[in-house]
Protein backbone atom coordinates (compact mmCIF):
# COMPACT_ATOMS: atom_id res chain seq x y z
CA UNK A 1 0.00 0.00 0.00
CA UNK A 2 1.32 3.43 -0.95
CA UNK A 3 1.86 5.78 1.98
CA UNK A 4 0.90 9.07 0.31
CA UNK A 5 -0.03 11.84 2.70
CA UNK A 6 -1.23 15.45 2.54
CA UNK A 7 1.23 18.12 3.61
CA UNK A 8 1.13 21.87 4.36
CA UNK A 9 2.81 23.39 1.31
CA UNK A 10 4.81 26.54 1.06
CA UNK A 11 3.47 28.28 -2.05
CA UNK A 12 3.18 31.69 -3.72
CA UNK A 13 0.79 34.30 -2.42
CA UNK A 14 -2.24 34.15 -4.75
CA UNK A 15 -1.70 37.67 -6.11
CA UNK A 16 1.92 36.87 -7.04
CA UNK A 17 1.77 33.27 -8.24
CA UNK A 18 2.03 34.11 -11.96
CA UNK A 19 5.22 36.08 -11.23
CA UNK A 20 6.77 33.49 -8.90
CA UNK A 21 6.53 30.24 -10.88
CA UNK A 22 9.15 29.61 -13.51
CA UNK A 23 10.24 26.99 -15.96
CA UNK A 24 13.20 24.80 -15.10
CA UNK A 25 16.39 26.87 -14.82
CA UNK A 26 18.05 24.96 -17.67
CA UNK A 27 15.22 25.77 -20.10
CA UNK A 28 16.11 29.46 -20.18
CA UNK A 29 18.77 30.89 -22.39
CA UNK A 30 21.35 33.04 -20.58
CA UNK A 31 20.03 36.35 -21.90
CA UNK A 32 16.38 35.44 -21.30
CA UNK A 33 17.13 34.32 -17.75
CA UNK A 34 19.09 37.47 -16.96
CA UNK A 35 16.33 39.73 -18.29
CA UNK A 36 13.65 37.84 -16.40
CA UNK A 37 15.51 38.01 -13.10
CA UNK A 38 16.36 41.69 -13.61
CA UNK A 39 12.77 42.75 -14.21
CA UNK A 40 10.89 40.25 -12.00
CA UNK A 41 11.97 40.32 -8.34
CA UNK A 42 9.33 37.68 -7.47
CA UNK A 43 10.67 34.95 -9.78
CA UNK A 44 11.54 31.67 -8.09
CA UNK A 45 14.77 31.81 -10.09
CA UNK A 46 16.06 34.26 -7.47
CA UNK A 47 15.90 31.47 -4.88
CA UNK A 48 17.64 28.80 -6.90
CA UNK A 49 20.27 31.26 -8.25
CA UNK A 50 20.82 33.42 -5.15
CA UNK A 51 24.03 35.03 -6.37
CA UNK A 52 22.20 37.16 -8.94
CA UNK A 53 21.70 40.04 -6.50
CA UNK A 54 25.47 40.09 -5.88
CA UNK A 55 26.36 39.81 -9.60
CA UNK A 56 28.33 36.63 -9.06
CA UNK A 57 27.94 32.87 -8.88
CA UNK A 58 28.36 30.78 -5.75
CA UNK A 59 28.86 27.04 -5.41
CA UNK A 60 28.91 24.31 -2.81
CA UNK A 61 27.87 24.87 0.77
CA UNK A 62 27.96 28.64 0.37
CA UNK A 63 25.38 28.51 -2.44
CA UNK A 64 23.16 26.15 -0.42
CA UNK A 65 23.21 28.59 2.50
CA UNK A 66 22.25 31.47 0.24
CA UNK A 67 19.40 29.49 -1.33
CA UNK A 68 18.08 29.02 2.18
CA UNK A 69 18.45 32.76 2.86
CA UNK A 70 16.57 33.78 -0.30
CA UNK A 71 13.81 31.30 0.57
CA UNK A 72 13.42 32.81 4.04
CA UNK A 73 13.39 36.32 2.53
CA UNK A 74 10.54 35.34 0.19
CA UNK A 75 8.62 34.11 3.24
CA UNK A 76 9.36 37.26 5.25
CA UNK A 77 8.24 39.49 2.38
CA UNK A 78 5.00 37.57 1.85
CA UNK A 79 5.94 36.41 -1.65
CA UNK A 80 5.64 32.86 -0.37
CA UNK A 81 3.17 31.72 2.30
CA UNK A 82 3.11 28.63 4.49
CA UNK A 83 -0.10 26.65 4.74
CA UNK A 84 -0.90 25.68 8.31
CA UNK A 85 -3.00 22.58 7.57
CA UNK A 86 -2.04 19.49 5.56
CA UNK A 87 -3.65 19.28 2.13
CA UNK A 88 -3.50 17.55 -1.20
CA UNK A 89 -3.05 19.94 -4.13
CA UNK A 90 -4.86 19.11 -7.36
CA UNK A 91 -3.13 20.74 -10.32
CA UNK A 92 -4.34 21.01 -13.91
CA UNK A 93 -2.30 22.37 -16.80
CA UNK A 94 -3.23 23.09 -20.41
CA UNK A 95 -0.97 23.99 -23.32
CA UNK A 96 -2.71 24.15 -26.67
CA UNK A 97 -4.47 20.82 -27.20
CA UNK A 98 -2.45 19.11 -24.42
CA UNK A 99 -3.79 18.99 -20.89
CA UNK A 100 -3.12 16.94 -17.77
CA UNK A 101 -4.02 16.82 -14.12
CA UNK A 102 -2.51 15.26 -11.04
CA UNK A 103 -2.09 15.73 -7.32
CA UNK A 104 0.81 17.02 -5.22
CA UNK A 105 1.43 14.97 -2.08
CA UNK A 106 4.20 13.70 0.19
CA UNK A 107 5.51 10.22 -0.66
CA UNK A 108 7.42 7.87 1.61
CA UNK A 109 11.08 6.98 1.15
CA UNK A 110 10.26 3.61 2.71
CA UNK A 111 7.97 2.87 -0.24
CA UNK A 112 10.91 3.65 -2.53
CA UNK A 113 13.19 1.28 -0.60
CA UNK A 114 10.63 -1.51 -0.66
CA UNK A 115 10.18 -1.10 -4.45
CA UNK A 116 6.55 -0.11 -4.16
CA UNK A 117 7.72 3.04 -5.95
CA UNK A 118 9.50 1.59 -8.99
CA UNK A 119 12.23 3.08 -11.14
CA UNK A 120 13.37 2.50 -14.70
CA UNK A 121 16.56 4.61 -14.80
CA UNK A 122 19.98 4.33 -13.20
CA UNK A 123 21.20 7.11 -10.92
CA UNK A 124 24.70 8.40 -10.26
CA UNK A 125 25.90 8.28 -6.64
CA UNK A 126 27.76 11.59 -6.91
CA UNK A 127 24.56 13.35 -8.01
CA UNK A 128 22.57 11.64 -5.25
CA UNK A 129 25.08 12.82 -2.65
CA UNK A 130 25.20 16.37 -4.01
CA UNK A 131 21.43 16.78 -3.98
CA UNK A 132 21.13 15.16 -0.55
CA UNK A 133 23.66 17.73 0.75
CA UNK A 134 21.57 20.45 -0.89
CA UNK A 135 18.30 19.25 0.69
CA UNK A 136 19.89 18.93 4.11
CA UNK A 137 21.07 22.54 3.98
CA UNK A 138 18.13 24.33 2.37
CA UNK A 139 15.53 22.19 4.20
CA UNK A 140 12.87 22.37 1.53
CA UNK A 141 12.00 20.35 -1.56
CA UNK A 142 10.98 22.44 -4.58
CA UNK A 143 11.05 19.87 -7.39
CA UNK A 144 8.49 17.05 -7.14
CA UNK A 145 9.11 13.53 -8.34
CA UNK A 146 6.67 12.84 -11.19
CA UNK A 147 5.03 9.43 -10.65
CA UNK A 148 2.32 7.61 -12.60
CA UNK A 149 -0.49 5.50 -11.20
CA UNK A 150 -3.08 3.27 -12.92
CA UNK A 151 -6.21 5.17 -13.89
CA UNK A 152 -8.87 4.70 -11.25
CA UNK A 153 -12.51 5.58 -11.79
CA UNK A 154 -13.17 6.73 -8.21
CA UNK A 155 -10.26 9.17 -8.25
CA UNK A 156 -11.18 10.41 -11.73
CA UNK A 157 -14.74 11.14 -10.54
CA UNK A 158 -13.54 12.90 -7.38
CA UNK A 159 -10.98 15.04 -9.20
CA UNK A 160 -13.54 15.86 -11.89
CA UNK A 161 -15.92 17.06 -9.17
CA UNK A 162 -13.24 19.23 -7.57
CA UNK A 163 -12.24 20.75 -10.91
CA UNK A 164 -15.79 22.08 -11.30
CA UNK A 165 -15.17 24.31 -8.28
CA UNK A 166 -13.35 27.63 -8.18
CA UNK A 167 -9.57 27.02 -8.02
CA UNK A 168 -7.14 28.63 -5.59
CA UNK A 169 -4.92 29.62 -8.53
CA UNK A 170 -5.94 30.30 -12.14
CA UNK A 171 -3.30 31.98 -14.29
CA UNK A 172 -1.47 31.81 -17.60
CA UNK A 173 2.31 32.11 -17.97
CA UNK A 174 4.12 33.77 -20.91
CA UNK A 175 4.75 30.37 -22.52
CA UNK A 176 0.95 30.18 -23.03
CA UNK A 177 0.44 27.47 -20.44
CA UNK A 178 -2.69 27.78 -18.30
CA UNK A 179 -2.41 26.62 -14.69
CA UNK A 180 -5.13 25.85 -12.14
CA UNK A 181 -4.65 24.56 -8.60
CA UNK A 182 -7.13 23.44 -5.95
CA UNK A 183 -6.31 23.00 -2.24
CA UNK A 184 -7.98 19.84 -0.86
CA UNK A 185 -8.38 19.95 2.92
CA UNK A 186 -11.84 18.47 3.47
CA UNK A 187 -11.41 15.37 5.63
CA UNK A 188 -13.72 13.21 3.54
CA UNK A 189 -11.93 14.00 0.31
CA UNK A 190 -8.48 13.62 1.88
CA UNK A 191 -9.46 10.22 3.29
CA UNK A 192 -10.89 9.10 -0.08
CA UNK A 193 -7.67 10.05 -1.90
CA UNK A 194 -5.45 8.30 0.63
CA UNK A 195 -7.59 5.17 0.53
CA UNK A 196 -7.54 5.08 -3.28
CA UNK A 197 -3.75 5.17 -3.34
CA UNK A 198 -3.54 2.49 -0.63
CA UNK A 199 -5.18 0.04 -3.02
CA UNK A 200 -2.42 0.38 -5.64
CA UNK A 201 0.27 -2.28 -5.80
CA UNK A 202 2.88 -0.07 -7.48
CA UNK A 203 3.68 3.50 -8.48
CA UNK A 204 6.12 4.27 -11.29
CA UNK A 205 8.66 7.07 -11.37
CA UNK A 206 8.25 8.92 -14.65
CA UNK A 207 10.69 11.77 -14.02
CA UNK A 208 12.90 12.60 -11.05
CA UNK A 209 14.90 9.44 -10.35
CA UNK A 210 17.80 11.38 -8.83
CA UNK A 211 15.46 13.49 -6.69
CA UNK A 212 13.85 10.33 -5.34
CA UNK A 213 17.17 8.57 -4.67
CA UNK A 214 18.61 11.69 -3.02
CA UNK A 215 15.62 12.02 -0.71
CA UNK A 216 16.08 8.40 0.34
CA UNK A 217 19.80 8.97 0.91
CA UNK A 218 19.03 11.96 3.13
CA UNK A 219 16.49 9.90 5.10
CA UNK A 220 19.09 7.17 5.64
CA UNK A 221 21.60 9.73 6.88
CA UNK A 222 19.08 11.15 9.34
CA UNK A 223 18.20 7.72 10.67
CA UNK A 224 21.81 7.10 11.68
CA UNK A 225 21.75 10.09 14.05
CA UNK A 226 20.82 9.54 17.72
CA UNK A 227 17.02 9.52 17.79
CA UNK A 228 16.94 10.56 14.16
CA UNK A 229 14.19 8.23 13.01
CA UNK A 230 11.83 9.46 15.71
CA UNK A 231 12.85 13.12 15.87
CA UNK A 232 12.86 14.09 12.20
CA UNK A 233 10.14 12.22 10.37
CA UNK A 234 9.93 14.97 7.74
CA UNK A 235 13.04 13.62 5.98
CA UNK A 236 11.26 10.30 5.46
CA UNK A 237 8.99 11.94 2.88
CA UNK A 238 9.53 13.85 -0.33
CA UNK A 239 7.24 15.87 -2.57
CA UNK A 240 5.64 13.97 -5.44
CA UNK A 241 3.21 14.76 -8.22
CA UNK A 242 0.97 11.77 -8.94
CA UNK A 243 -0.58 11.60 -12.41
CA UNK A 244 -2.84 8.99 -14.04
CA UNK A 245 -1.01 6.89 -16.60
CA UNK A 246 -3.38 8.08 -19.34
CA UNK A 247 -2.34 11.70 -18.71
CA UNK A 248 1.36 11.00 -19.22
CA UNK A 249 2.94 11.90 -22.58
CA UNK A 250 6.11 10.02 -23.51
CA UNK A 251 8.38 11.19 -26.31
CA UNK A 252 11.62 9.72 -27.62
CA UNK A 253 15.11 11.11 -28.11
CA UNK A 254 17.08 11.26 -31.34
CA UNK A 255 20.58 9.80 -31.12
CA UNK A 256 23.16 11.88 -33.02
CA UNK A 257 26.76 10.85 -33.69
CA UNK A 258 29.37 13.55 -34.13
CA UNK A 259 31.59 11.29 -36.28
CA UNK A 260 31.13 8.41 -38.73
CA UNK A 261 33.74 6.30 -36.94
CA UNK A 262 35.89 6.36 -40.08
CA UNK A 263 33.11 5.10 -42.36
CA UNK A 264 31.93 6.61 -45.61
CA UNK A 265 28.21 6.83 -46.36
CA UNK A 266 28.30 3.69 -48.52
CA UNK A 267 30.41 1.79 -45.99
CA UNK A 268 27.92 2.66 -43.24
CA UNK A 269 24.99 1.46 -45.34
CA UNK A 270 26.79 -1.81 -46.04
CA UNK A 271 27.46 -2.31 -42.31
CA UNK A 272 23.84 -1.59 -41.45
CA UNK A 273 22.61 -4.00 -44.13
CA UNK A 274 23.75 -6.83 -41.87
CA UNK A 275 21.13 -5.82 -39.28
CA UNK A 276 18.44 -3.97 -41.28
CA UNK A 277 16.46 -3.76 -44.47
CA UNK A 278 17.17 -0.24 -45.70
CA UNK A 279 14.82 2.00 -47.72
CA UNK A 280 16.02 5.36 -49.07
CA UNK A 281 13.21 7.84 -48.25
CA UNK A 282 14.80 10.90 -49.87
CA UNK A 283 15.08 14.42 -48.40
CA UNK A 284 11.54 14.65 -46.95
CA UNK A 285 11.40 14.32 -43.16
CA UNK A 286 10.63 10.74 -42.12
CA UNK A 287 9.62 9.36 -38.74
CA UNK A 288 9.22 5.66 -37.83
CA UNK A 289 5.61 4.48 -37.83
CA UNK A 290 6.02 1.19 -35.97
CA UNK A 291 8.11 -0.54 -33.34
CA UNK A 292 11.54 -1.90 -34.32
CA UNK A 293 11.71 0.54 -37.21
CA UNK A 294 14.27 3.36 -37.14
CA UNK A 295 14.89 6.51 -39.10
CA UNK A 296 18.38 7.65 -40.10
CA UNK A 297 19.34 11.05 -41.47
CA UNK A 298 22.63 11.19 -43.35
CA UNK A 299 24.00 13.62 -45.95
CA UNK A 300 20.64 15.24 -46.68
CA UNK A 301 18.62 12.02 -46.95
CA UNK A 302 16.37 9.99 -44.66
CA UNK A 303 16.52 6.21 -44.54
CA UNK A 304 14.00 3.76 -43.05
CA UNK A 305 15.71 0.89 -41.20
CA UNK A 306 13.69 -2.30 -40.59
CA UNK A 307 15.25 -4.73 -38.13
CA UNK A 308 15.92 -8.05 -39.88
CA UNK A 309 15.81 -10.20 -36.75
CA UNK A 310 12.71 -9.32 -34.77
CA UNK A 311 13.23 -9.83 -31.01
CA UNK A 312 11.46 -12.91 -29.76
CA UNK A 313 8.87 -12.68 -27.03
CA UNK A 314 10.73 -13.33 -23.81
CA UNK A 315 10.88 -12.48 -20.14
CA UNK A 316 13.42 -9.78 -20.91
CA UNK A 317 11.46 -6.55 -21.52
CA UNK A 318 14.68 -4.57 -21.88
CA UNK A 319 15.71 -6.61 -24.91
CA UNK A 320 12.57 -5.53 -26.76
CA UNK A 321 13.04 -1.79 -26.24
CA UNK A 322 13.93 0.12 -29.39
CA UNK A 323 16.49 2.17 -27.46
CA UNK A 324 18.23 -1.06 -26.45
CA UNK A 325 17.95 -2.54 -29.95
CA UNK A 326 19.47 0.58 -31.51
CA UNK A 327 22.34 0.38 -29.04
CA UNK A 328 22.93 -3.34 -29.65
CA UNK A 329 22.65 -3.19 -33.46
CA UNK A 330 24.03 0.26 -34.35
CA UNK A 331 25.71 2.30 -31.64
CA UNK A 332 27.90 -0.47 -30.21
CA UNK A 333 28.85 -2.69 -33.19
CA UNK A 334 29.00 -0.01 -35.90
CA UNK A 335 30.16 3.11 -34.02
CA UNK A 336 32.00 1.48 -31.13
CA UNK A 337 29.91 3.19 -28.44
CA UNK A 338 30.27 1.13 -25.26
CA UNK A 339 29.04 3.78 -22.80
CA UNK A 340 26.19 5.77 -24.37
CA UNK A 341 25.73 7.84 -21.21
CA UNK A 342 29.24 9.32 -21.25
CA UNK A 343 30.58 8.90 -24.79
CA UNK A 344 31.23 12.47 -26.09
CA UNK A 345 30.42 11.37 -29.65
CA UNK A 346 26.75 10.79 -28.77
CA UNK A 347 24.27 13.67 -28.51
CA UNK A 348 20.58 13.51 -27.63
CA UNK A 349 17.65 15.67 -28.77
CA UNK A 350 14.11 14.94 -27.63
CA UNK A 351 11.67 14.58 -30.50
CA UNK A 352 9.11 17.03 -29.04
CA UNK A 353 10.80 19.81 -31.00
CA UNK A 354 14.10 18.24 -32.05
CA UNK A 355 13.50 17.07 -35.62
CA UNK A 356 14.39 20.34 -37.30
CA UNK A 357 17.32 20.91 -34.96
CA UNK A 358 18.69 17.41 -35.66
CA UNK A 359 18.60 18.10 -39.39
CA UNK A 360 20.27 21.49 -38.98
CA UNK A 361 23.09 20.07 -36.83
CA UNK A 362 23.85 17.41 -39.43
CA UNK A 363 23.48 19.70 -42.45
CA UNK A 364 25.97 22.20 -41.06
CA UNK A 365 28.45 19.50 -40.04
CA UNK A 366 28.13 19.72 -36.25
CA UNK A 367 26.98 16.09 -36.27
CA UNK A 368 27.42 13.35 -38.86
CA UNK A 369 24.33 11.13 -38.62
CA UNK A 370 21.13 10.90 -36.58
CA UNK A 371 18.69 8.13 -35.63
CA UNK A 372 15.06 8.25 -34.51
CA UNK A 373 12.52 5.73 -33.22
CA UNK A 374 8.99 5.40 -31.86
CA UNK A 375 8.57 6.47 -28.22
CA UNK A 376 8.60 3.97 -25.38
CA UNK A 377 5.08 3.07 -24.27
CA UNK A 378 3.83 3.16 -20.69
CA UNK A 379 3.44 -0.62 -20.82
CA UNK A 380 7.10 -1.01 -21.81
CA UNK A 381 8.23 1.37 -19.06
CA UNK A 382 6.28 -0.58 -16.45
CA UNK A 383 7.54 -3.94 -17.71
CA UNK A 384 11.16 -2.80 -17.40
CA UNK A 385 10.55 -1.39 -13.92
CA UNK A 386 8.65 -4.50 -12.79
CA UNK A 387 11.58 -6.66 -13.92
CA UNK A 388 14.00 -4.57 -11.86
CA UNK A 389 15.82 -3.43 -15.01
CA UNK A 390 16.88 0.02 -16.17
CA UNK A 391 16.60 1.56 -19.61
CA UNK A 392 19.47 2.97 -21.68
CA UNK A 393 20.06 6.69 -21.04
CA UNK A 394 17.63 9.14 -22.65
CA UNK A 395 15.02 6.51 -23.40
CA UNK A 396 12.10 8.78 -22.46
CA UNK A 397 11.23 12.46 -22.55
CA UNK A 398 8.15 12.76 -20.39
CA UNK A 399 5.52 15.47 -20.11
CA UNK A 400 3.98 17.32 -18.43
CA UNK A 401 6.98 19.29 -17.22
CA UNK A 402 6.12 20.93 -13.92
CA UNK A 403 6.85 24.57 -13.08
CA UNK A 404 9.26 25.48 -10.29
CA UNK A 405 7.97 27.31 -7.24
CA UNK A 406 4.30 26.29 -7.41
CA UNK A 407 4.39 24.12 -4.27
CA UNK A 408 7.29 23.46 -1.92
CA UNK A 409 7.68 20.79 0.75
CA UNK A 410 9.26 22.43 3.81
CA UNK A 411 10.86 19.88 6.14
CA UNK A 412 10.24 22.21 9.09
CA UNK A 413 6.52 22.43 8.30
CA UNK A 414 5.85 18.68 8.09
CA UNK A 415 2.41 17.56 9.44
CA UNK A 416 3.88 14.94 11.77
pLDDT tens figures, 182-200: 999 999 999 999 999 999 9
Number of domains in the chain: 2
Confirm whether 148 is domain-assigned: yes
Give yes or no: residues 153 and 183 share one domain: yes
Give yes or no: residues 234 and 338 share one domain: no
For the segment 245-284, what is each residue's pLDDT rounded down to a tens digit? 999 999 999 999 999 999 999 999 999 999 999 999 999 9
Q: Ramachandran region of residue 164, left (φ > 0), alpha (ψ -120 to 50) or beta?
A: alpha
Confirm whether 3 is domain-assigned: no
Give yes or no: residues 74 and 195 share one domain: yes
Give yes or no: residues 238 and 264 share one domain: no
Q: Is the dihedral of CA 392, 398, 403, 405 positive or negative?
A: negative
- In whole angstroms, what is the distance from residue 316 CA to residue 227 CA? 43
Decide: helix, strand or coil at residue 94. Answer: strand
For residue 165, what are the domain limits? 10-249+400-413
Q: What pLDDT does residue 353 have? A: 67
Confirm whether 4 is domain-assigned: no
Give yes or no: residues 171 and 208 share one domain: yes
- pTM of the entire predicted model: 0.92
Confirm whether 214 is domain-assigned: yes
Helix, strand, coil share of the chain (percent; to 5) = 35, 25, 35
Give yes or no: residues 195 and 282 share one domain: no
Q: For residue 127, with 0-12 CB atoms within 10 Å meaning exposed, 13-18 middle and 19 or more buried, which class applies?
A: middle
Interval 93-113 mean pLDDT: 94
Give yes or no: residues 390 and 408 share one domain: no
CA 83, 84, 85 angle in degrees (round to 5)?
100
For the segment 159-179, what is each residue's pLDDT rounded down to a tens digit? 999 999 999 999 999 889 999
Confirm if 331 and 255 have CB atoms less than 8 A apart.
yes
The single-letter DSSP state of residue 235 is: G
Q: What pLDDT does residue 390 have? A: 94
Confirm whether 319 is domain-assigned: yes
Confidence of residue 311 (pLDDT cuts 50, 70, 90): low
Give yes or no: residues 125 and 50 share one domain: yes
For a pLDDT cut of 70, what percent of the chain falls above it? 96
Q: What pLDDT does residue 224 have? A: 78
- In whole angstroms, what is the distance from residue 380 CA to residue 387 CA? 11
- In whole angstroms, what is the distance from residue 200 CA to residue 146 CA? 16
Confirm whether 306 is domain-assigned: yes
Give yes or no: residues 353 and 404 share one domain: no
Confirm whether 2 is domain-assigned: no
Give yes or no: residues 84 and 52 share one domain: yes
For the segment 361-416, what is each residue's pLDDT rounded down to a tens digit? 999 999 999 999 999 999 999 999 999 999 999 999 999 999 999 999 999 876 55
Give Cα separations from 261 to 68, 323, 331, 334, 371 (angstroms): 48, 20, 10, 8, 15
What is the CATH classification number for the domain harbouring 391?
A: 3.30.1760.10
For the segment 343-352, what is each residue's pLDDT rounded down to a tens digit? 999 999 987 7
Q: What pLDDT does residue 97 have? A: 86
Give yes or no: residues 16 and 131 share one domain: yes
Confirm whether 337 is domain-assigned: yes
Confidence of residue 30 (pLDDT cuts 50, 70, 90): confident
Give yes or no: residues 279 and 321 share one domain: yes
Amino acid sequence: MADLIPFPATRPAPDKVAHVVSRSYEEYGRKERKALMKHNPFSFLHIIRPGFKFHREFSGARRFEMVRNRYLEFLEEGILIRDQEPAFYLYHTRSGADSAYGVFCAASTEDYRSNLIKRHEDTLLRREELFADYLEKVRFNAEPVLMAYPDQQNLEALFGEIMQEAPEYFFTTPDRVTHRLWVIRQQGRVAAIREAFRTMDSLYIADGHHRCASSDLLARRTETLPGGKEQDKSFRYFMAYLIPESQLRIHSFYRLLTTMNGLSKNELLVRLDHYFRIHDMGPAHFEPTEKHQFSMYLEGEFFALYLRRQPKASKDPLGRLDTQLLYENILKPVFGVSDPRNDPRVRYLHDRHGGAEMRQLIDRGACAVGFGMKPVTMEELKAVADAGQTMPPKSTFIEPKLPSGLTLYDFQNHPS
